[in-house]
Amino acid sequence: MTDLQAGLTSATHPLERLSEAESAAGVAIVKADSRFTAKMRFGSVNLHTPLKSSVIGYQAGTPFERAVDMVLLDLADGSTVEVTASLNTSAVTQWDRIVGVQPSIILDEFFESEAAIRNDAGFQAAMAKRGITDMDLITVDPWSAGHYNDPLEINNRIVRGLVWVHDKPGDNQYARPIDGLSVIVDLATQKVLRIDDERVYPVPAESSDWSRKFVDNVRSGVKPIEIVQPEGPSFTVTGDHIAWQKWDLRVGWTTREGLVINTVNYTDDGEVRPVLYRASLAEMTVPYGDPSNTQARKNAFDVGEYGLGMLANSLKLGCDCLGEIYYMDAHICDAAGEVIPLPQAICIHEEDTGISWKHTNFRTEDVEVRRLRRLVVSFICTVGNYEYGIYWYFYQDGRIENEIKLTGILTTGGLFDGDKTKYGTVLGPNIYGPNHQHFFCTRLDMQVDGTSNSVVEVNTRQAPADENPWGNAFYAEQTVLKTEQEAQRRIDPMTGRFWKIQSSERKNATGAATSYKLIAGENILPFATEDSSIRARAGYMWNHLWVTPYDPDEYWPAGKYPNQHAGGAGLPEWTKANRPIENTDVVLWYVMGHNHLPSLEDWPVMPVANISFTLKPSGFFDRSPAMDIPASSGCKVV
C-alpha cells in the first residue's frame, strides 16, 4: 500500500464509482472542518472527476488521487460552497464560497416546501375559496422558479408550488389540477412568500387512475414470454467494468447525470481501440408552450435543477428489464449528508434485436442469416410527473445507440366549462394537457482511435451540371468543422446530413481517416422567441450539434448552476471564444428535441415515446464487423 492508496478508499480504478463508505467519509471530513456550520446543507456529494490524463493508460495497482466533491448550501447567507475532500489525506483541499448562484433543488426541499404550503393560512384560505378543506388531499409539485425578473427570484432561493387535489388517497393527482394558482416558497425559511392566485377554475370531477388498485379492466390472452439464457448472459462484470462481445466500458454515476458511460473500447482483431471517453445526458429542458401565467413558467431543467441521479428509481420494484439482469446499486446523500442507498439503480442485460444480416442465393438456395444482439445499460428516473428511461445500447456490429424513453403523466391545466384551448389538448371536462417540448443534450467526449479527432459534416448534394450528363448523380460533400462557431449546426434530413468524428492519427485500409458517424433521429427546434427567458437560459437548445475542445471545467450545457439563473451560461458562453476544434481532443454536444402536443392516448399515463441517436462505425473497420457472429440454433415453429 502506498500513501495515496492509504486512507479512506479501497477503490481500484480512478473512475470507480464512490462507495457508500467513501461518500460518508467525504461528508465526515467536511463536517469536521472548522468552517462547517449547522446552517449548511449538502446539495450534492460526488466523485471528484479524475484528470483524463490519469485515466487513459492507467495501470492497475498504481496509486491515484481519490476525492469527493460536495456542494453545500449555507442557509446563514444563502451562499453556495464548493468543497473537495481528499480520501487519501482526509484533508479539505478546496473550500470556495460562491455568491449569487442557486444549487439544484435538494430532495429534502421537495417535502419541506410541500408541508410549508399545506400549513400556510393564506394557502388554506385560497383552497377554501375552491371548496377544498382537507389538506391531506393536497399535493404540491415544487417547480424550479426560472428567471423572469421577479425580485423574489433574484433575492431568494425559491420554488413555485403547483397544486393538485386528490379525490381519494392514492389516486391520480394530475386528474385534478388547481390551475390559476402558484405558491412561491422560500426554501431557506420554508415560508410562503407569495400566492399568485389569479383565477378559480372548476376542479375537474372525473378520475383517471393508473394504479392497479383502481384498474380492474385487464385484457386477456397475454401468454408468458420468458427470456431463457441457460448458460447465463454473455457479459462479465468486474466492479464497474463490463466486457461484452468485443466491447468494454466502465459504468459511472453522478447525482446530476445519473448513469455515465466511461472509456468505451472495441477490441478489433485483438487490438483494443478506444471510441468514446465519456458520455452522459448533461442537461435537459422542458419548455411549455402555453401563454397562461401558471403554465408559461414551467421550464424544468431536470439535470441541472433537480439531478437525474437524485431522482433515480430503485429497480427492485416492478419489472423494467427482462432476461438475465445484472443490477448495480447506487446511493445519494440527503441534505444532512446521510447516505440513502438506491439498490438496483442501474440495469445491465442483453437483448436480441432481430436480424443483423441475411443473404439468400436464389439460384442455389444457400441462405445465411445472423441474429443481432445488444448490450443494454440503463436507468430510469422520476422527475415529478414524468419518467425518463435513459438507455445506452452497444451492438455486435459496432454501433452505439442512445435512446430516451419518455413516459409518466402529463402535468395538466384547468379549463372553464366547455372551453377549449389551442395551446394544449382537452383531455376531459375542465382539464387539458398543455403543449410542451423536451430537449436532451448528451455530452459525448469522443476518442475515436485516440484523443485527437476532427468533426466533419457530410451533406449529400446533386452533382454539378458539367459532371452530370444523365442528371442522376449525387455525392457526399464533406466539410471539416474548424472552429466552435462553425460547428454550431442543425439537422437537415433533406441532405441526409450527419457528422463524422474522425481520428487524426489512424487510417483504414483505403487510406481514409477511421471514423464514427453521429446519426440524428427525431428532432426539432424550440418555438420560444428570441427575447424569451428560456432563450437566454437554455441557449443550447437552438443548435442540434455543438463541438468544443475538451476542457475539464466544461460539463454543463446551460451552466453549472442553472437554477434561477438569468441565462447565457454554458455552451453559448464558452463558444464565444470560437476555439479551434480541428485535430484536437473534441467534445460533441448533441441536442435532440421531442415535440409534445398531447393526445388523448397520453392520458392517464403516456405510452412510451422514444427518441434516439446513433454512433455508427464509418470506415472505422475495413469490413463488416458482424461477419463473425455465429449462426444461431433452430427456431421454434408453432
For residue 386, indicate whether it is catalytic: yes
Burial zone of 361 (CB within 10 Å; 0-12 exposed, 13-18 middle, 19+ buried): exposed
Residue (of 447, 395, 189, 434) closest to 296 by Cα position: 434
497 binds Co ion (CB under 5 A): no
Q: Report yes or no: 547 and 589 within 8 Å, Cβ to Cβ.
A: yes
Tell me 461's DSSP state. Answer: E
Stretch that binds Co ion, among 104-112, 144-152, 573-581, 592-600 (CB under 5 A): 592-600
Compute how many other C-beta atoms are within 10 angstroms of the C-beta atom of residue 239.
Answer: 14
Tell me 304's DSSP state. Answer: I
Q: In angstroms, give the least distance from the CB of 436 to Co ion.
A: 6
Stretch that binds Co ion, among 2-10, 50-58, 551-559, 591-599 (CB under 5 A): 591-599
Beta bridge partners of 284: 440
* Residue closer to Co ion (CB basis): 373 or 596: 596
Stretch that binds Co ion, among 330-338, 393-401, 567-575, 589-597 (CB under 5 A): 589-597
Three-state DSSP at 374 gives strand
* Residue closer to Co ion (CB basis): 424 or 572: 424
Distance CA 540, CA 558 (A): 7
* Largest separation between any pair of C-alpha atoms in the chain: 84
Q: In angstroms, give the least distance from the CB of 504 to Co ion.
A: 40
Distance CA 545, CA 589 (A): 6
At 135, phi and psi to the nearest 5? -70, -20
517 binds Co ion (CB under 5 A): no
Three-state DSSP at 173 gives helix
Binding residues among 255-284 for Co ion as defined by CB under 5 A:
none
* Residue closer to Co ion (CB basis): 321 or 592: 592
Q: In angstroms, give the least distance from the CB of 302 to Co ion.
A: 12
Tell me 275's DSSP state. Answer: E
Q: In angstroms, give the least distance from the CB of 147 to Co ion.
A: 22
Stretch that binds Co ion, among 242-250, 499-507, 513-521, 594-602 (CB under 5 A): 594-602
The catalytic position among 302, 397, 445, 585 is: 302
Binding residues among 381-440 for Co ion as defined by CB under 5 A:
none
Residue nearest to Co ion (CB): 596
Q: In angstroms, give the least distance from the CB of 614 to Co ion.
A: 23
* Residue closer to Co ion (CB basis): 183 or 383: 383
Q: In angstroms, give the least distance from the CB of 111 to Co ion.
A: 25
Instruction: Count residues near Co ion (CB under 5 A).
Output: 1
* Residue closer to Co ion (CB basis): 384 or 539: 384
Three-state DSSP at 316 gives coil
596 binds Co ion (CB under 5 A): yes
Q: Which cell goes with 16?
A: 470507480
Q: Which cell goes with 382?
A: 422520476
Distance CA 14, CA 5 (A): 11
Three-state DSSP at 292 gives coil
Write down the residue that cell numbers 393526445 correspond to: 599
* β-strands 474-480, 453-462 pairing: antiparallel
Binding-site string for Co ion from residue 315 to residue 344, where x marks contact by CB under 5 A and - marks none:
------------------------------
Residue 389 vs residues 142, 331, 489: alpha-carbon distances, Å: 22, 18, 27
* Residue closer to Co ion (CB basis): 25 or 286: 286
Q: Report yes or no: 78 and 152 within 8 Å, Cβ to Cβ.
A: no
Stretch that binds Co ion, among 178-186, 242-250, 269-277, 590-598 (CB under 5 A): 590-598
Q: In angstroms, give the least distance from the CB of 31 to Co ion.
A: 41
Three-state DSSP at 361 gives strand
Binding-site string for Co ion from residue 95 to residue 124, where x marks contact by CB under 5 A and - marks none:
------------------------------
The catalytic position among 386, 391, 395, 550 is: 386
Stretch that binds Co ion, among 322-330, 508-516, 564-572, 596-604 (CB under 5 A): 596-604
Q: Which residues bind Co ion (CB under 5 A)?
A: 596
Catalytic residues: 302, 386
